[in-house]
Structure 1
Amino acid sequence: MNKILTFSDQDLLESLEQQTHEQVEEAPFGLVRMSREGIVVAYGKLESYITGISKEYALGKYYFTQIAPCANNRMIAAKFAQPALDEELDYILTYVSEPVKVRLRLLKSPTSRYQYFLVNLKAVA
């Protein structure tokens, strides 16, 4: 797949679902691909840069308690209980990095193999 991904693409979930773990790790924004149970299966290079958490450390861990407890709340983690999710919101990441203002996008569908946590630094003023 050669399509360049953009953070707000309407069909981004479908595009991500067609990519390998290695391809999503090259996304031009922070990206975490999780199993339907919340286990990290791919951790993007830009996500690693933003958070300071290495891909090697993140893989295989439960995202909302072991990697990003700052997102383990009703605004973020609880939304993944919904069967379908495509929402953008402003947020401040605070876990291992200095507080960073970001734009998040949360993605999943009833038919998607994975669920996604996306981080965009450029969309925040």
Structure 2
Amino acid sequence: MPMGLDITPPREPRDQAAVPSSGAFEFDIRVTDLDEEGLDQQPFGIIRLDREGNILSYNLYEEKQARRKREDVVGRNFFTEVAPCTKVKSFHGRFREGVARRELEATFGFVFYLRHVTRNVDVSLFYKRAPLESADSIWVFVRG
């Protein structure tokens, strides 16, 4: 089993006091126009997904926090293969609703249950439309 693999069954966080406040996670939306090198320079985790939840980009900050190398996660499904603890209504449900509407802008507290640590974070989801729906992307910004 690879280091850092999220093996906990999906569940909603039980202790809401442990979840960070879900105040606005402010970021410059132009970050979605950066190349991979630019994404690596950001001081928070960035994961870019396609409409199916497959990972397209995974920045250096998130690599270090999750202890997962991008070459091991890019191309894999975020919700079923990389972070199954996110396949809950508060995360995956928002993602699915955003994909259906082609619109999503949400910030919420979340707990990642990783093998090496439990991460209490703020997550922002942002849907970026492309000229073709099949090229749309959903951005996951992780702070904390």
TM-score (norm 2): 0.70
Count, aligned residues: 111
1:3 is aligned to none
Is 1:106 aligned to 2:121, yes or no? no
Measure how far apart 1:118 and its partner are.
Answer: 1.1
2:16 is aligned to none
Residues 61-100 of structure 1: pairs in structure 2 closer than 5 A:
61-81=76-96, 82=98, 83=101, 84-100=103-119
Is 1:35 aligned to 2:54, yes or no? no
**Separation of aligned partners in 1, 2:43 and 2:78:** 20
1:8 is aligned to 26
**Matching residue within 24, 37, 53 for 1:22:** 37
Measure how far apart 1:24 and its partner are.
Answer: 2.1
CA 1:34/1:27 → structure 2, altered by over 3 Å: closer, same or farther? same
**Residue aligned with 2:90, SS:** coil
Q: Give the conservation status (yes or no) of the 8 Å contact 1:69–1:95.
A: no
TM-score (norm 1): 0.79
Identity over aligned residues, as a percent? 22
CA-to-partner distance for each residue in 1:37-89, whole Å, 9 max, x for gaps?
21111101111111111111011101101111011110001111222111111
2:138 is aligned to 115
Q: Counting helix residues as a fraction of each chain, which structure ranks higher?
A: 2
Unaligned runs of 5+ in 2: 1-24, 131-135
* Cα-Cα RMSD: 1.6
**Residue aligned with 1:76, SS:** helix
